Chain A
Amino acid sequence: MIHLLALLGLAVLGLIIRSFALIDISSSAAYGMGMIMLIGYCAGQVFRKLGIPSITGYLVAGMAIGPFGMELITRAHVEDLTLINGLALSLIALTAGGEIRISRLRPHLKTITWVLVMQTVTMVTGMTAGFWFLATRIPNLTISTQTGILAAGLLIGVVSTASSPSTTLAVIVESGRRSVTTDLILGIVMLKDIVILFLFCIGLNVAQALTSASSGNPSGLGNTFFQISGSVIVGVLIGVIIIAFLKYIKSQQVIFILAICFFTYEIFEPLKLHPLLIMMSAGFLVVNLSREGDRLMDHLEEISPPVYVLFFTLAGAALRLDLLKTLGLTAMILVILRIACKWAGTWLGLRTSGTMPYLRHRGWTAFVSQAGLSLGLATIIADQFPGWGDSIALLILSAIFINQLIGPLTLKWLLDRDGK
């Protein structure tokens, strides 16, 4: 009750401030930060009381107060606070890497591999085919040739395969459950990001060959290989630094972890390496090859609640609600198609591996959420294909918006039934 009251009070306060401010509210990033933290936190608590994951609460709160909602925080606020995004993503990736424990995954390696392969195959083929049929009915789509449609479909297929490790991890952490199912889900989601980075580069090259209309520098396979291997090497180095710090310097460990996450993102992202992969590798190394893993995970669990509030509320505020007006229906069809493909892929994977029969029909619910990586890939599509890239990116963004709202709910539903 108190959180609901605070939520309403803050919303009214925000509206008053917006109306009577002496200067543009955009000029105070501190105000935006405060609003995001408090409204996000209260919304998360209200949603949790309703049995809905806090993440959904943060996202909905972000959308409500964001530049496409009540405008209590502006687009400038969202841009000013991108520094927080980098820190949060790095922290989430470090946690995600730490969650992949070889000892726990080894017994399920066969299952993970099959689900990964089957999901990727069904997603890429299913989504490409689905888009092929839908393309002529999509408003404002500027692709005229059949090869163009095929290229766009292929890219949509690859991007749709991705799930969101951050959302998955946040919901699992909030549920407080650790089981074979959660290990399996995390393993698949994390490894899938690496597979998708490779697949996307291949898809991009194929699409460019099909359309011959790219403008930028095509990212070749060699380039991709360099980026991925470079990220892993840097990740290993950072992992070693973290191990040394945790082992020999006993004080201020939380501040050190925060600092290393922040600087890794800010330093290596401009160098075209993948901060997510770097931090995942670092987390993986610390947990699997040292005795400091438990301490790292304890610290990360301590830091995670405020980081989730900030990151997901900010992500909600950045979601473009205006796109839904024009692309909502098409996006909805793509979301349904994606869910169908996820179901098929998961069912096929689990059936082929011959394990976990209880997850065959409901396992797909763990892979619906979609965020960080997919958003980044959509931006690359918009950059690389000036003719039609924008409209495809907008379509992907609209679908991500819906998936991100549904994803936490379906995953929580699965976790609530886990073991029953």
Chain B
Amino acid sequence: MNTLAVFAGLLAITFIGSRAIFRQRPGHSPITYALQSGTIFLLFGILISPNGLDIIHIEVLKQLRPLIHFGLGWVGFLYGFQLEWRYLRKISRNWYFTAGIVFIFPTGCLLVAAWAGFRYLLGLEGFVTAWVLILAAIMAFLLAESCTAFVFWANRRYRLTGRQYRMINFAAATDNFFPIMGAALLGMFFPNQTNGLHALAIISLEILIGVLGGSVLHYLARRVKDPLEVSTILFGIVFLLSGIAYIFRFSPLFVTMVAGITFTNRTRRHAWFQKRLNPVEKPLYLMFMIVLPLYGFGAGWIPLLIAAILVVVKFTSKLGAMVITKPLLHASREFPAQAAFLLLPMSAIGPAILLEIRERFQVEWMSWVAAIFIFAMLISEWIAVTGMYLFNRRSSR
């Protein structure tokens, strides 16, 4: 199958898919949510992967690299663009504290669980401890974050209103920051990769390139009226930054996120840019979901078992975190359980980060990590949808 066919197929599927998914009414039923959710594209990816029907050959995927690099850069830039200090400083410290606990506590629990799972279930006893820890850390960071789209859907569907639910929305929206940071710092911890000083230099360079990129975009675009001229500059910057990141084994997500933060805090045309950035984002996320299983999917009972254990750990640790922070939010008795279900599904930043790690380090074990992550993503979403349904049915009685 040639590049054109792959490109055409992906373009059509992601374009139509993103329209179908994101045009749905906010309060539609749990069954249609599960069927129409973006995670269905993970299953599609598995189906056409070399492990499935083998429709797409791995060599062809290499030709999609520019698109993947661009996608990572775009997603990172858009995320950074939303971090506007003018608004962020108005948010209560309690919320930051709560959002931090809600992410960090589960991350710690998941790290321990993933480490144990990899060591004793996956048979990585012979591996260097540092490697197993890195694997476990990647998994913990990816699984601890939550999906804003699901929180939004559930809030509308079950009419969950009030300050504490707005906080959950905030926690789900901000926790992408942690895995992106984690991915940026990952290179430092690879065995034989760097020493401490080198690692510091790498992160400084990543920040410097991002700040430079964001500033150049601001100065070039600030007086331009023609939307397509601005798009040319914007696309050029995102392509360039993600290309540079790839060449130096930096994190494209992090570099472009820094560029986005720099730009958003200098420009005065937020609404204009937001309008143009958003439509490209959704198809890109769906593309990541399709492409991730294509790069290798180590399917089997053990990854499935580990994934199930990790989802249970995530639920209980989120529940624990919500119980800890309940007094801060003055929430009701049943709130922690509801919040744990709300924060259970993972967002599409996970596939993006896994693809980024694979592109940067070209590591073999990614197929196992990808399989566990994909299983966990599917299981967590199904559990969350069902859990929310049953919980609210019981409450309404």
Binds A, one of B227-235, B309-317, B388-396: B227-235
Q: B238 at the A/B interface (Cβ < 8 Å)?
A: yes
Q: Is A30 a contact of B216 with CB atoms below 8 Å?
A: no
Give chain B nearest CB distance to A49 CB in angstroms: 13
Q: B53 at the A/B interface (Cβ < 8 Å)?
A: no
- Nearest B residue (CB) for A251: B19
Contact with A along B28-68 (1 / 0, CB 8 A): 00000000000000000000000000000000000001100
A25-B247, A34-B243 given; A2·B231 CB < 8 A: no
Contact with A along B82-108 (1 / 0, CB 8 A): 000000000000000000000000000
- CB-CB under 8 A from A22, the residues of chain B are 247-249
Q: Is A23 a contact of B236 with CB atoms below 8 Å?
A: no
Q: How far is the CA of A290 from the CA of B204 in the complex (A)?
A: 58
Q: A35 at the A/B interface (Cβ < 8 Å)?
A: yes
Q: B17 at the A/B interface (Cβ < 8 Å)?
A: no
Interface residues of B (CB under 8 A from A): 3-4, 8, 11, 15, 65-66, 69-70, 73, 216, 219-220, 226-229, 231-233, 235-244, 246-249
Q: Is A17 a contact of B247 with CB atoms below 8 Å?
A: yes
**A-B contact list, 24 entries, CB within 8 Å:** A17-B244, A20-B248, A22-B249, A23-B247, A28-B69, A30-B66, A30-B70, A33-B66, A33-B70, A33-B236, A34-B238, A34-B240, A34-B241, A36-B236, A37-B240, A38-B233, A38-B240, A41-B236, A259-B11, A267-B4, A305-B226, A305-B232, A306-B229, A306-B231
Residue from B220, B242, B246 within 8 A of A3 (CB atoms)? B220
- CB-CB under 8 A from B242, the residues of chain A are 30, 34
- CB-CB under 8 A from B235, the residues of chain A are 37, 306
Give chain B nearest CB distance to A22 CB in angstroms: 6
Q: Is B239 a contact of A34 with CB atoms below 8 Å?
A: yes
Q: A132 at the A/B interface (Cβ < 8 Å)?
A: no
Q: Is B8 a contact of A41 with CB atoms below 8 Å?
A: no
Q: Is A31 a contact of B240 with CB atoms below 8 Å?
A: yes
Q: How far is the CA of A3 from the CA of B220 in the complex (A)?
A: 7
Give chain B nearest CB distance to A58 CB in angstroms: 11
- CB-CB under 8 A from A35, the residues of chain B are 240, 243
Give chain A nearest CB distance to B23 CB in angstroms: 11
Q: A416 at the A/B interface (Cβ < 8 Å)?
A: no
* Beta-carbon contacts under 8 Å, A362-417 to B: none
- Nearest B residue (CB) for A21: B247
- CB-CB under 8 A from A41, the residues of chain B are 220, 229, 232-233, 236
Q: How far is the CA of A74 from the CA of B8 in the complex (A)?
A: 27
Q: How far is the CA of A28 from the CA of B4 in the complex (A)?
A: 19
Give chain B nearest CB distance to A136 CB in angstroms: 47
A38-B233, A266-B4 given; A6·B216 CB < 8 A: yes
The 4 closest A-B pairs by CB, nearest first: A31-B243, A34-B240, A37-B236, A34-B239
Q: How far is the CA of A266 from the CA of B228 in the complex (A)?
A: 25
Q: Is A80 a contact of B226 with CB atoms below 8 Å?
A: no
Give chain A nearest CB distance to B119 CB in angstroms: 32
Residue from B3, B15, B239 within 8 A of A33 (CB atoms)? B239
Q: Is B228 a contact of A30 with CB atoms below 8 Å?
A: no
- CB-CB under 8 A from A304, the residues of chain B are 228
- CB-CB under 8 A from A9, the residues of chain B are 216
Residue from B66, B216, B240, B248 within 8 A of A80 (CB atoms)? B66
Give chain A nearest CB distance to B186 CB in angstroms: 16
- Nearest A residue (CB) for B72: A30
- Nearest A residue (CB) for B68: A30
* Beta-carbon contacts under 8 Å, A1-31 to B: 2-3, 6, 9, 17, 20-23, 25, 27-31
Residue from A2, A31, A37 within 8 A of B246 (CB atoms)? A31
Q: How far is the CA of A83 from the CA of B66 in the complex (A)?
A: 12
Q: How far is the CA of A27 from the CA of B232 in the complex (A)?
A: 22
Q: How far is the CA of A302 from the CA of B229 in the complex (A)?
A: 10
- CB-CB under 8 A from A2, the residues of chain B are 219-220
Give chain A nearest CB distance to B337 CB in angstroms: 42
Give chain A nearest CB distance to B74 CB in angstroms: 11
* Beta-carbon contacts under 8 Å, A196-227 to B: none
- CB-CB under 8 A from B249, the residues of chain A are 22-23
A38-B240, A80-B66, A306-B235 given; A30·B73 CB < 8 A: yes
Give chain B nearest CB distance to A330 CB in angstroms: 38
* Beta-carbon contacts under 8 Å, A220-264 to B: 255, 259, 263
A2-B219, A28-B243, A306-B228 given; A34·B236 CB < 8 A: yes
Residue from A6, A32, A83, A266 within 8 A of B243 (CB atoms)? A32
Give chain B nearest CB distance to A82 CB in angstroms: 11
- CB-CB under 8 A from A20, the residues of chain B are 248
Q: How far is the CA of A37 from the CA of B242 in the complex (A)?
A: 14
Contact with B along A86-98 (1 / 0, CB 8 A): 0000000000000
Q: A303 at the A/B interface (Cβ < 8 Å)?
A: yes
Q: Is A31 a contact of B244 with CB atoms below 8 Å?
A: yes
- Nearest A residue (CB) for B243: A31
The residue in A6, A17, A306 that gathers the most chain B C-beta atoms within 10 A of its C-beta is: A306
Q: How far is the CA of A80 from the CA of B64 in the complex (A)?
A: 11
Q: How far is the CA of A19 from the CA of B40 in the complex (A)?
A: 44
